[in-house]
Amino acid sequence: MTEEIKQAARRQLAVDGAPNLSLRAVARDLGVVSSAIYRYFASRDELLTALIIDAYDSLGQATELAEAAADRTDLLGRWYAACYGIRNWALVHPHEYALIYGSPVPGYAAPPDTVGPATRPTVVLGRILHDGVAAGVLRAEPGEWLDPEVHAEVAGVAEAMGAGVPTTVMARGLIAWTEVFGAVSFELFGRLNNVIDNREAWFTHQIQAMARLVGLHP
């Protein structure tokens, strides 16, 4: 029943969007009284949290499996695989992608238990950066500099997700990661309409450019 409720909620997301998610509408979809739904989810926000965690975990798993299939010594191949894992998942699950990377739902505050699932793709990035540093491929470049406040924050990220990764390398990685999700969002939310027709070729060009920024070369 829990899975049936979530499936009905996902159908509603596709039609009405996350801000309009309603337990009563879910109940109508399933042909039950609304009180039956409340036995499984105490509120709209509790159901929304379950959908968000499922979406993050599904995206995280897709990213992990795609990256794991690449040769461990091919850092650039692993980067491409992870990026395409994200894009491919988003194209198959556009409404769930919009739920976790679209506009925030008014009045909803995500609880701490969404944080772990949300970081799964980022952990993949951290692993690639860590292995690149260990192999001597990625390194801090002479003259690279970060604002002290930025340095302190990125250093915390580097310690949590890529121990041993120089802060400037992690900063490059985070910029690239942000750009990857921006590229997916632009494609998925129609920002490339009447601009770019060959979306796959354009995405490939973007992730190649971001790989060069990070320091990954063929």
Cβ-Cβ contacts under 8 Å for 2 (sequence gap 6 or more): 40
pLDDT, tens digit (0-9, with 9 covering 90-100), for 109-156: 999 999 999 999 999 999 999 999 999 999 999 999 999 999 999 999
Query: What gap in Å lies between CA 190 and CA 92, rounded to an integer?
Result: 15
DSSP result, 68-114: HTS-TT-HHHHHHHHHHHHHHHHHH-HHHHHHHHSSPPTT----GGG
As to burial, measured by CB atoms within 10 angstroms (0-12 exposed, 13-18 middle, 19+ buried), residue 96 is buried
19, 1 in Cβ contact below 8 A? Answer: no
Which has more pLDDT, 9 or 160? 9
Question: Looking at the predicted structure, is the pLDDT value of residue 162 above 80?
Answer: no
- What is the residue-averaged pLDDT of the chain? 94
φ, ψ for residue 192 (rounded to 5)? -100, 0
The reported pTM is: 0.93
